Amino acid sequence: NTVSTVCSCLTSHVAMIHNYGQTPAWHSDKKWGVYRHRITTDKHPLVRGMNTKFDVIHSRHRDVTPEQYRAAGLNILVSNEEVGVHLASSPDGFRQIFLQGHPEYDILSLLKEYKREVQNFIEGKRPDYPPEPAHYFNDEARAITDALKYKILAGQSVEFPDEEIAKTLDNTWTDSARSLIAAWIGLIYQVTHVDRRKQF
């Protein structure tokens, strides 16, 4: 009965299976990091006025390809060549909004994921040392993580340098995320019926 629903990451994949018969592909290598995206159309009100290029965080093993979105008749609004579609809408343009990325992540979210994966390696829960999230660490942060990796592989007992790495991080995605959600709420306000018992 809602006017519009935002589906994020895994929820988006479930909706694609349930509503459009499009099953995400599983990848053994995790797509994670900060990726520069481009708006594919400036006609849709959700992206009108946004920067034509902006960063989005992704963190997932599954993927719905651009071809699958098109086959389902969906509107692709924002994408990246490396990680694919970030933002799409249902054919009507608004009843369902699909996000494959994580615009809600804060500056430390990927760092916490990376720390978890490093800890999994130390505890033998994963066979390989985890790769770093793409385009997330700068040179200073990579120097810290390289030193950490060297010590761990050498069998030394270490404490994960959370605070040291956190000081080097930059947030380049929150403004665009806020713009998107503000536009979405604004559209809901415009199209929702004054009588709450009616949808539009």
CA angle 58, 35, 49 (to 5 degrees): 100
Distance of CA 57 to the CA centre of its chain: 4
* 9 labelled catalytic: yes
Confidence of residue 18 (pLDDT cuts 50, 70, 90): very high
Strands 75-80 and 84-89: antiparallel
Between 194 and 22, the higher pLDDT residue: 22
Give the number of other Cβ atoms within 10 Å of residue 100's Cβ: 29
* Mean pLDDT computed over 82-110: 95
CA distance 80 to 71: 18
CA distance 22 to 7: 15
CA distance 35 to 57: 6
Flag whether pLDDT at 1 surpasses 80. no
Predicted local confidence at residue 28, as pLDDT: 86
- Whether residue 99 contacts residue 7, with contact meaning beta carbons closer than 8 Å, is answered with yes
Q: Given 102, 113, 117, 132, which residue is catalytic?
A: 102
**Helix (H), strand (E), coil (C) string for 24-81:** CEEEEEEEEEEEEEEECCCCCCCCCCCCCEEEEEEEEEEECCHHHHHHCCCEEEEEEC
Flag whether pLDDT at 195 surpasses 90. no
Confidence of residue 49 (pLDDT cuts 50, 70, 90): confident
Taking alpha carbons only, the member of 29, 55, 13 closest to residue 117 is 29
* 104 labelled catalytic: yes
* Mean pLDDT computed over 22-29: 92
Question: pLDDT tens digit string along 117-163?
Answer: 999 999 999 999 999 999 999 999 999 999 999 999 999 999 999 99
Average pLDDT, the chain: 94
What is the reported pTM? Answer: 0.91
* 102 labelled catalytic: yes
